[in-house]
Structure 1
Amino acid sequence: MKFVAFERAKQGTGASRRLRITGRTPGIVYGGSAEPLLVELDHNALWHAIKKEAFHASILDMEFAGKESKVLLRNVQMHPFKQLILHIDFQRVEANTKLSMKVPLHFSGEENSPAAKVDACLINHVVTDLEVACLPADLPEFIAVDLSGLVKGKSLHAADLTLPKGVTVVTHGKANPVIVAVVAPVEEVAAPVAAAPAADAKGKGKGKK
C-alpha cells in the first residue's frame, strides 16, 4: 500500500490541534540511521487506509518530498469517542535488518474438520494474529491456517503452523502457545423424573371403593 506524507514544521499540543482542524493528522517516522521525521497526513485518506488489514500488517510505501521509502505502521492513537486519528507512528524499514511484526491469521476448513463435523466440538480461536520475525522481503501479509485436520482432544499450537520461508514465530517466553483450542461438547444428562410421594399414593388408594 502507498500513502503520501508531508513535512510538519511545527510541533506541540497547540500546533497538533490546529493541524487536526485543517483535516490533517500529525505523525512521526523513526528508526534506521536517519533522524526522526515529523510528518502530517490527510486525515480522510488515512481514515480509510487504517480500515484495511494490509495497512497494519505489511510494508508500506511512503511518498515524501517526491521520494519513496519503506515503512511499517507502529502505532495509531485514536480519540476516545470521536472518529478521529490523533497521531500516527511509522518505523523505517531497512532491507538487511530483521523486523518483528504482528501478522493476521486467516483460518479456513474449520467446518470440515472431524472435531466440528463429527464430534460437534467448539473451535475457539485463541489468537487472531501472531508476532513473527523476518527480513522485510519475507514479511507475509497474512498466515494461512488450515483447520480441516482438527480432531477432538487436540488443540493447534504455534509449532503446528506452516510458516513462509524465512519467517519465525516470536513467542515471548511461551514455548509453544495455543493458536486454536478444541473444546469437547458438554454432554447433557437427563434429569430423573421425580416419583410420586408414597403418602399421596396411599391416599389415592384409600379413596377408591
Structure 2
Amino acid sequence: MTIEINATIRKAQGTGASRRLRNSGRVPGIVYGSGDVAMIELDHNDLYYKLRDEAFHASLLTLNLDGKKESVLLRDFVMHPFRQQVQHIDFQRVDATHKMHKKVPLHFLNEEIAPGVKTGGGKISHVMTELDITCLPKDLPTFIEVDLGKLELGHSVHVSDLKLPKGVEIAAHGTHTAEAVVVTVQVPRGTVEAAAEATAEAAAAPAAKEAKK
C-alpha cells in the first residue's frame, strides 16, 4: 500500500507566518535529506487523519510536492498542548540505495491463547511496543509480529527470538540488545501474595499445635 501526501512550497516563513498558516487550516513543515531543504505546507485535516494511521508512522511515504513526487519518511511532528491540532511536521528524503534507521511498531498475536495466560492465570506485560531496525527502504515493514501462542507463565520473548522480515536487522545503535525482553507473562501479584501467605500458614501450623498441648 502506497501512502501519498500532498504539499506545496511554503513561501512565507517566521513565527507570525506559521501562526497565520495554522489559522487558515494549513500546517508548516520541512523536508530535508539529500538535496536542498524544502519549507512546505500541508492541509491540516488530511494530515491529522493520516497521523492517526499507524502505517503512516512506519512506512515509506510518497510526498507530492507541487507535482513532483519523492520518497520520504516521517521523522517528527508537534501537536498543540491541548488542541487536536498539528503544529509542525518533518519529513526526510530517502535514498533507495542506502540503509536507513527507523522505529517500527510491534504487533502481538495470540495473547489470549498463550498457555501462561489461558491455563496459568498470568498477565501479559509489554516491555517494548516498537523496535529499532535498519534496512533498505524497499524492505521497510510497517510492523513486526510477535507470536505469543506458546508463551508459558514466567517466560519471556527476547529481541533475539523475533522473526525479522528479509533484509531487516536490529539497529546496532538502537536501545535494544539481543537479550532485551520484549514481552513476558507475569504471575499476578495477588496470586503470589496468596501463595506466600498459604506457605507461611502451613509453616506455622505445627508450632501452633505444639503450643496447644
TM-score category (smaller protein): 0.7 to 0.9
Identity %: 51
Aligned counterpart, 1:155? 156
TM-score (norm 2): 0.85
CA-to-aligned-CA distance 1:11-38 (integer Å, 9 cap, x gap): 1101101111111100000012x01100
1:130 aligns to 2:131 (yes or no)? yes
Deviation (angstroms), 1:77: 0.6
TM-score (norm 1): 0.87
Cα distance in 2 for residues equivalent to 1:153 and 1:21: 53
Q: Is there any run of 5+ residues in structure 2 with no aligned partner, and where?
A: 202-213
Aligned counterpart, 2:122? 121
Cα distance in 2 for residues equivalent to 1:173 and 1:157: 10
Aligned match of 2:23 in 18, 21, 24? Answer: 21
Most deviating of 120-129 and 19-28: 120-129
Aligned counterpart, 1:176? 179
Q: Alpha carbon RMSD of aligned pairs, Å?
A: 1.5
State the SS of the aligned residue for 1:112.
coil
Say whether the 8 Å CA contact 2:132–2:175 is kept in structure 1. no
State the SS of the aligned residue for 2:41.
strand
State the SS of the aligned residue for 1:115.
helix
Say whether the 8 Å CA contact 2:106–2:131 is kept in structure 1. yes
Cα distance in 2 for residues equivalent to 1:55 and 1:172: 23
Cα distance in 2 for residues equivalent to 1:96 and 1:41: 28
Cα distance in 1 for residues equivalent to 2:80 and 2:159: 34
Aligned counterpart, 1:6? 8
Structure 1 stretches of at least 4 aligned residues deviating more than 6 Å after TM superposition: none
State the SS of the aligned residue for 1:150.
coil
Q: When you count helix as a share of all residues, which structure comes out higher?
A: 2
Aligned counterpart, 1:206? none
Cα distance in 2 for residues equivalent to 1:15 and 1:173: 41
State the SS of the aligned residue for 1:72.
strand
Q: Is there any run of 5+ residues in structure 1 with no aligned partner, and where?
A: 193-209
AA matched with 1:124: S
